[in-house]
A and B are shown apart, each in its own frame.
Chain A
Amino acid sequence: MADDVKKMKPIWFFVGLVLTFMGGVILISGIYDLLARVEYKTVLARLHPAIWWGGLMVAAGLIFVLANRNATVD
C-alpha cells in the first residue's frame, strides 16, 4: 500500500493531459477548416481562434505534462 501511494501522479499531470488532448483536437479541427476553406458564420472567424487558442492549450498542457512526468505524490 505504501508503494501504491508513492506512485500516484499529481493532479497537474492530468490537467496537462486534458489540456493537451482537447487543445490538440481543437487545433487540428481549426487547421483542417483553414485548409478546406470552411466558411464560418461566427464573428471574427477570419482570426481562426481555434488554431491559436488550441495551440495555446496544447502548449500549456505539454508544460504541465512534461513538468510532472516523473513526479509522484506521497
Chain B
Amino acid sequence: MQAIGLHFVDWFIILFYFAFILGMGFYLKRYTKNEEDFFLAGRRNSAWVAGIAFLSANLGALELLGMTGNTYKYGMYVAHFYWIGAIPAMLFLGIFMMPFYYSSRIKSVPGYLKLRFDEKTRVLNGISFAVMTLLVSGINLYAMALVLHTFVGWNWDISIWASAITVAAYVTLSGLMSAIFTEIIQFFLIWFGLFLVSVLGIVEIGSVGEIMRRVPEAFSKLWSTSADPTANGMMITWGGIVLGLGFVLSFGYWTTDFLVVQRAFSAKNLRSARMTPIIASFFKMAVPFIVIIAGLIALVLAKDSNSGFALMSDGGKLNYDSALPMLIARYFPRGLVGLGITALLAGFMAGQAGNISAFNTVWTYDIYQSVINKKASPKHLLRMGRAATIVGIVLSVATAYWAKSMPTIMDYMQAIFSWVNAPLFATMLLGMFVKWITPNGAFWGLIAGMGSSFTMYLAVKFEWIQAGILTLSGKMGASDMAANFWRAWWAWLICFGVTVAVSLFTKKKPEAELVGLVKGLTPETVGAHVPWFKQPAFVAALALIVLVLLNVYFW
C-alpha cells in the first residue's frame, strides 16, 4: 500500500524539475570547453557556491530518510552525525589541510598521494575509491527506487532508468559544473520541501518544548547517557562516539572523500577553498532541524493513539524509513506533495551525480592517465571523462539491481566507508604533517588498514569473534553502528602504526620534492587584504562556538 498519492499538480512539479536540470546541462555545456571546466568546473566558484555544493554532495535523500527514521528509533543521538561527527573534521579540512590540497593544484585526492608519495599509492587509492563510488552510486539508485516504489507506487525499473538517464545526460554534457548546480538547487528544494514538515509538526503538537517533554527522557539527551551503553538506544559509549565517529569516520570522510573535497577544488582561490567547508559547517549544523525534529515529531504522534499516525510496517516490523514520507502524507496537500517528492528525488539524483563526477575524475586522471595512457592529450582526457560518465552510470545501474537482490545492502554502505576512508585518513594525516613518512610506509600502511578493516568486518559477520571484542564492551554485545565506529578506529590505528613502522626502515623522498605538500615545507599563507572577521580561522572559531553551545544545550 502506498503512503502518498500524486495529483496532476504534483506530477507537473516533478516533471518540471527533470526538464529544468536537463536544460541546465545543455545551458552549461557551452561553458565546458576543456578538461578543467569538465572535471573542476573551471576553478571559478565562490566560497558560497562551493560551500553549499560541498554540503549538498553529502546531504542525500537516503540520509534524510534514514536519519529521520533513526531519530524515531534512537532519539537525539542521531544529532552526533551532524555535530561532533562532522563539524570538527570540516573545520580541520578548511584550516589545516586545504592549503596542501589546493596549492598543489591537484585534480583529485589520489593525485595528492602521487605527489607526496608515489604512483603505486595513488593507483591503490584510485582503484579503491572508484569501486566505492560505483557501489555507493548504485546503492543510491536502489534506495531511490525502493523509496519511490514503497511510498509513491512507482515502477522499479522506470524509477532507476529515468533517474540514471537524466543524470547521465547532464553530467556528460557539463561535468562537475552541472553536478554542482543541481546540488545547490537540491539544497534549496530540501529546505523548502522538507523543513515545512517540521514547522507543521511543531504547530500541531504545540511547541518544540512540548515535543521534548513527550519523548522518552533518554531520547532528548545527547551525552549524559553515553557513559553506559545500556542507557542509550544506540548501545554505544562516549568513547565510540568521540574516537570512532567524531575522529576517525568523520575525519576520514570529510577530509579525504573526493566526492566532497572535489567541490572545494572548484573554488576560485585558496581563501575560497578554505572557506568552503567552513561555510558548509553552519548549514550542516542546521540539518537536524529538519531531520531530528521530524523524527521526534513522528515518535510523539505515533505514541498518541488519538493522532491516527503510524509508521508503515512490513510483516509486523516497523519501517523506520517511512517516518518522513508518512509525515509528508499527513501534512502536505497537492502541490506541496510534489515539492516534497521532488526534494527527495533531487537529493537522490544529486547524490548519484556527485558520485559519478568524482568517479569520472578519478578514473580519468588516477587510473587511465597514470597507468594506461600517460601521453593522453587534454582533449582526449575530456572525451575519456564523458565516456567514463556513461560507463559509470551503466555500472551503477548494474550495482543497483545487484543491491536489490541483497537483504541488508544498507549495512554495506556504512561498512564501505570504514574500509576505505578510515585508513586513508591516517595516511593523509601523516603525509601532510610528518616529513619523514615514506612512500613504502604509506602504501603498506594503507594495505594494512584497508585489509584489517575488511577482515574485522568479516570476522563479526561470520561470528569468528563477538562484536563486543571490537567495541570493548565484552559480553554486553554491541549494535552494528557501534561496531562500525570501533572498527574504523582500529583500522585507522593499524594503518597509522604500520605506516610509521615501515617508514622508519625505508627510503624518504628528498625534501625538495615535498615543498607545498607537507607542513613545515609549505609557505604559510596569510590573507593580507581580508579583514579579520572574514579570515577562515575566525569564521571557523565561530562555528566551533556554535557547535559547543548546541552540545551543551542538548547535553
Listed in ascending order, the chain A residues whose CB lies under 8 Å from chain B are 1, 4-5, 8, 11, 14-15, 17-19, 21-23, 25-26, 29-30, 33, 40, 42-45, 47, 49-50, 53-54, 56-57, 60, 73-74
Contacts and interface: CB of A to CB of B under 8 A. Distances in A.
B44 interface: yes
26 contacts: A4-B30, A5-B31, A5-B42, A8-B28, A8-B31, A11-B181, A11-B184, A15-B184, A17-B20, A18-B20, A18-B185, A22-B16, A22-B189, A22-B339, A26-B13, A26-B335, A26-B336, A29-B335, A30-B333, A40-B333, A42-B329, A43-B331, A49-B200, A50-B334, A50-B336, A53-B336
Name B's interface SS: helix
A60 B483 CA distance: 44
Contacts of B49: 11
Given A14-B181, A44-B200, A29 B334 contact: yes
A49 B9 contact: no
Interface in B38-88: 42, 44, 49
Contacts of A22: 13, 16-17, 189, 339, 342
Nearest to B196: A53
Contacts of A26: 9, 13, 335-336, 338-339
Contacts of B33: 1
B330 A43 contact: yes
Contacts of A74: 44
Interface in B1-38: 9, 12-13, 16-17, 20, 24, 28, 30-31, 33
B289 interface: no
A65 to B, nearest CB: 13
Contacts, number: 90
A73 B43 CA distance: 12
B337 to A, nearest CB: 9
Contacts of A21: 16
Bin the interface of chain B by size. 35 or more
Contacts of B330: 42-43
Interface of B: 9, 12-13, 16-17, 20, 24, 28, 30-31, 33, 42, 44, 49, 180-181, 184-185, 188-189, 192, 196, 200, 203-204, 329-336, 338-339, 342
B336 A4 contact: no
Nearest to A23: B192
A51 B289 CA distance: 23
A32 to B, nearest CB: 9
A43 B328 CA distance: 10
Tell me the interface secondary structure of chain A in the complex: helix
A49 B181 contact: no
Nearest to B42: A5
B307 to A, nearest CB: 8
Given A25-B13, A49-B336, A74-B44, A44 B331 contact: yes
B534 to A, nearest CB: 20
Given A18-B20, A25-B9, A57 B333 contact: no
Residue from A1, A18, A19, A50 having most chain B Cβ neighbours under 10 A? A18
Residue of B181, B188, B338 most packed against chain A (CB within 10 A) = B188
Nearest to A73: B44
Contacts of B331: 42-44, 49
A57 B24 CA distance: 20
A15 B187 CA distance: 10
A42 B335 CA distance: 13
Given A19-B192, A26-B339, A50-B336, A43 B204 contact: yes
B517 to A, nearest CB: 30
Given A14-B181, A19-B188, A25 B335 contact: yes
Nearest to B346: A18
A27 to B, nearest CB: 8
B204 A57 contact: no
A7 to B, nearest CB: 9
Contacts of A14: 24, 181, 185
B9 A29 contact: yes
A53 B330 CA distance: 16
B357 to A, nearest CB: 16
A49 B196 contact: yes
Contacts of B196: 49, 53
Contacts of A50: 333-336
A17 B334 CA distance: 21
B203 A47 contact: yes
Contacts of B181: 11, 14
Given A25-B13, A44-B203, A73-B44, A18 B189 contact: yes
Contacts of B180: 11
Nearest to A9: B27
A43 B185 CA distance: 29
Contacts of A42: 329-333
A33 B44 CA distance: 45
Contacts of B9: 25-26, 29
B11 to A, nearest CB: 11
B540 to A, nearest CB: 24
A1 B34 CA distance: 11
Contacts of A49: 196, 200, 331-333, 336
A1 to B, nearest CB: 6
A56 B192 CA distance: 9
